[in-house]
Amino acid sequence: MASISIYQFKQEAKEYHKQRLERKESAIRDHIYYVIENTTYPVNTENIPLIFKDRIYELADIHTLEINLYDLKGNLLKSSRSSFATDSVSQPISNTVLKLVESSIDKRYVEMKNLQNVKYRASYSQINDERFKPIAILNLPYIEDDEYYEREAERFLVNLAQVYSLMFLIAFVLAYFISSYITKSIKNISDKITITRLNRKNEKIDQLASSSEIQLLVDAYNSMIDELEESAVKLAQSEREEAWREMAKQVAHEIKNPLTPMRLTVQSFQRKFDQTDPEITKKLDDYTKTLLQQIDTMSSVANAFSNFASMPAQQNETINVVKSVQLALEIFNEPYIHFKSNEEKIITNMDRTQLIRVITNLVKNAIQAIPESRENPAINVSVFQIDNTIKISVQDNGIGISNDLKNQIFEPKFTTKSSGMGLGLGIIKKIIENYNGTITFESQPNVGTTFTVSLPVKTIE
């Protein structure tokens, strides 16, 4: 807008000076012809200085413009410019300008120059006598004074800046409130998407959108939530089915292991059974022991699976953790099991049986992790309290856990032993998490492993 306005002001100024020079030139020419018609001197080129001896100054004062009269060869005849030098000293009209005046239809030419940063116009036109014979060339120098238009342009730009500043301020305020209104729904959708999770109940957006486009986005989000819930249900069902399928395979595998030796034992006893054999009683006793041993193995498998699938209800009571851990260690006969506690009593509220089960399982795993070739086997069990957290540590110098197996150590059915179902650590992890606790471990191959159980202190008010 400012650029177009400045250009428009310049064009108006240019057009104004052009028309003003034409009006001045037309009035001066009419006045010159009036003087020529009323002169007593013969009208020719040589008498021009005499005809306009004094009248040229009157014309210049009346029209407020400098007037110069040249002969047809471009030499100055008479000028209204005040000068102490003779008129003949002035520069003649160039041959180029003379040719342009002569070749034009209206015998007129306007020359435009910039002299010392001042715009300058000079018009040249022929003056004829009564017989239309050229007798002189009229020159009108004209200086373009653009001060008025420059002031007007400056005033206009100031007003334009004020108006547009106010408009911009209003536009910014309106844009802020309108954008806040429009983006409110988008922010709500964004917040909902941020907290959307597959494993939790997600809420739909229950509000009218500010526009049809936002409403389409809200509808798409709500539709996505419906599909996500359906997918979550299907995924959970699929995971449960897969977990039970894998567990069933593991249980079936563990049950098959004792069935094979039981079958072989029965078949062998059937083939070799002899009532007259003097050692029949001893053989029958061995046969019975073998069957009972395999039956106990199957019972152990069934109990482990039952315990993992359905944990018994917690029977919480106020217990001394230090005493309970000592009690759990009394069933072990290994002389290298050492107990340490800096406190005699650490009181909390939890199921004593489940705590003993956790300690028993960890210590049993530590015993099995120590190879028979270890010269100085050692298992250190320590109990201590840090602020409101009970720490139970079981450290051994066994074979350790390789880095490849660390991420699988708490997974159900994972085991590194030749016997067992691998449910022990999974069960105790579930027990500890039920009390909002954690179990971690640090291990180095062929150096040892340290399991640390962290349980919050809970007391009955």
Higher pLDDT, 424 or 450: 450
Higher pLDDT, 336 or 150: 336
pLDDT tens-digit map of 388-429: 899 999 999 999 888 877 777 776 544 544 444 344 677 788
Specify the DSSP element, H or E, that contains 100: helix 95-103
Higher pLDDT, 82 or 455: 455
pLDDT tens-digit map of 106-125: 889 988 887 777 777 889 99
453: β partners: 392, 439
Nearest Cα neighbor of 301 from 360, 263, 258 is: 258
Report, as an integer, the average pLDDT of 296-305. 68
Burial class (CB in 10 A: 0-12, 13-18, 19+), 36: buried
Residue ranges per domain, the chain? 2-145, 212-309, 317-456
Res 384 pLDDT > 90: yes
Torsion region of 186: left, alpha or beta (phi above 0 gives left; psi -120 to 50 gives alpha): alpha
Report, as an integer, the average pLDDT of 10-14. 80
- The confidence score (pLDDT) of residue 89 equals 47
- The confidence score (pLDDT) of residue 37 equals 87
- The reply to whether CATH 3.30.450.20 applies to domain 2-145 is yes
Contacts of 363 (CB under 8 A, 6+ apart): 328, 329, 332, 337, 379, 381, 394
Range from 24-28, 62-66, 300-304 carrying the lowest mean pLDDT? 300-304
The CATH class that applies to domain 212-309 reads mainly alpha
What confidence category does residue 208 fall into, taking pLDDT thresholds of 50, 70 and 90? low
- The confidence score (pLDDT) of residue 207 equals 65
pLDDT tens-digit map of 123-139: 999 998 888 899 999 99
Higher pLDDT, 214 or 346: 346
Higher pLDDT, 220 or 337: 337
Report, as an integer, the average pLDDT of 88-116. 83
- The confidence score (pLDDT) of residue 420 equals 41
Specify the DSSP element, H or E, that contains 212: helix 212-272
What confidence category does residue 13 fall into, taking pLDDT thresholds of 50, 70 and 90? confident
Structure tokens at 12: 């108006």
- The confidence score (pLDDT) of residue 403 equals 81
What confidence category does residue 84 fall into, taking pLDDT thresholds of 50, 70 and 90? very low
Using DSSP's 3-state secondary structure scheme, residue 94 falls into: coil
- The confidence score (pLDDT) of residue 312 equals 53
Q: HEC profile for 156-187?
A: HHHHHHHHHHHHHHHHHHHHHHHHHHHHHHHH
Q: What is the CATH number of domain 317-456?
A: 3.30.565.10
Higher pLDDT, 225 or 412: 225
Higher pLDDT, 7 or 399: 399
Residue 234's CB: how many other CB atoms inside 10 A?
10
DSSP one-letter code for 104: S
pLDDT tens-digit map of 148-174: 777 777 888 888 888 889 999 999 999
- The confidence score (pLDDT) of residue 290 equals 73
Nearest Cα neighbor of 132 from 38, 43, 34 is: 43
- The confidence score (pLDDT) of residue 245 equals 72
- The confidence score (pLDDT) of residue 171 equals 93
* Global confidence as pTM: 0.39
Spatial distance between the Cα atoms of 1 and 102, rounded to a whole number of angstroms? 44
